[in-house]
Structure 1
Amino acid sequence: MVDPEPVSDTNLIREKILKSGFSEKTVKNLIEIYENLQDTVFGNSDIMQLLDCSQTTATSYIKKLNNDLKLIKAVSGFGKGKYCFTKM
């Protein structure tokens, strides 16, 4: 019997974002945030720079990733409002 391919965190996170029910643009932007910031500690300013968006929009994406999807967590030791993606 052959073991199934392991499902990577990347695939699980993408699937969760795709099934979130958010608009197509929001899904696209959340995936872009993940692809570019998955291995780093980030905050509002990083998302603003990445997506060329306002502070309000960046905050909205952080709330979606944190409160709605539970894909990021707050980290300490890097200043207030810093997050990283969780391992699935």
Structure 2
Amino acid sequence: MRKDVRDVLKRLDRLLAYEMKVSEFLGTLLILGIPYGLVGVVWSLTHTAHLKQLHGIDVVVSFLGSIVCWPVLTFANVCMT
């Protein structure tokens, strides 16, 4: 058991010690962010019922918020039904 903990800590230390260049960091963010954003846009476009009662800038803010928060909203939508 103790050896397993040391093994996990050694792997965690190796992972956290990895150094990235700024360009590598930005590339990783793009690789992860583009699919997240695309799924958020699709989810937001298919769940627009709440936007009908809003007006002006509230529509834009709510739509952008639903793109960013789509995982939480998906979970909340499942729990509410």
> TM-score range, shorter-chain basis?
0.3 to 0.5
TM-score, normalised relative to structure 1: 0.31
More helix by share: 2
More strand by share: 1
TM-score, normalised relative to structure 2: 0.33
Bigger Rg, structure 1 or 2: 2
